[in-house]
Amino acid sequence: MDKHYLGHRIRLKERFEKNPASLQTYEIIELLLGFVIKGKDVKPQAKEILKKCENLENIFHTKLANIKGVGKETELFFNIIGEFILRAKWEKIKNESFNIAGPQSVYPFLKNLIGFEKIEKFVILYLNSLNKIISYEIIATGTVNQTAVYPREVAKNALNFNAVSVILAHNHPSGNNLPSEQDKILTEKIKEALKLFDIKVLDHLIITKDSYLSFSAEGML
């Protein structure tokens, strides 16, 4: 059996150790595949994955199991890496002062959490009296363009977390980050519900995989 790939894989690792930037993107994927697919050349699979996903970021949110020679184990492997990245981003924003950092600081986390989803999801970030983020929840999952969110449930959950303020966020799977009339109406309803408990809505962010819109920055709060 021709095992030329063994020498190739060793050379890739050596190049990575000396200068990671010298590797092409598909070669980085190839190195990763080598940890889960043993005993074969995985360059064709690496190139096919990159072709299907277009960039590295999409790999963690794409079904890979139907690519020839990849399988469920490889898909699980990349899902685990994606979860690792998400948790690293959460650690970065947890206990960060939102007043200082602003919406751009939470966008990378929210992008990884819901920005690549094919259906709408509604997230609440809970903050303490120092405006530091202490926890989060996905409180609703809906269809391609709609989620059912109940202001009373938002208020109840905020009280459970002893939150003084919240940041609302939901994704638009269409990629359009402009708010709908329903988005605006829901934001007002949640604001009114939370006002009864002296809990403030600091922002409402509409998330896509490429951008975000801040209600606060746009003067809509």
Domain boundaries, the chain: 4-87, 96-214
Kindly tell me if the per-residue pLDDT of 30 is higher than 90.
Answer: yes
Kindly tell me if the per-residue pLDDT of 1 is higher than 90.
Answer: no
The CATH homologous superfamily of the domain defined by 96-214:
Cytidine Deaminase, domain 2 (3.40.140.10)
Q: What does the angle CA 155 – CA 83 – CA 132 come to, to the nearest 5 degrees? A: 40
Closest CA to 135 of 94, 178, 181: 94
Q: Collapse the DSSP code of 211 into the 3-class scheme (helix H, G, I; strand E, B; otherwise coil) and give the result.
A: coil
Q: pLDDT band for position 9 (50/70/90)?
A: confident
> Do the strands 165-171 and 200-207 form a parallel or antiparallel pair, or are they unpaired?
parallel
Report the pLDDT value the prediction gives residue 3, as an integer from 0 to 100: 61
The pTM of the full predicted model, rounded to 2 decimals, is 0.86
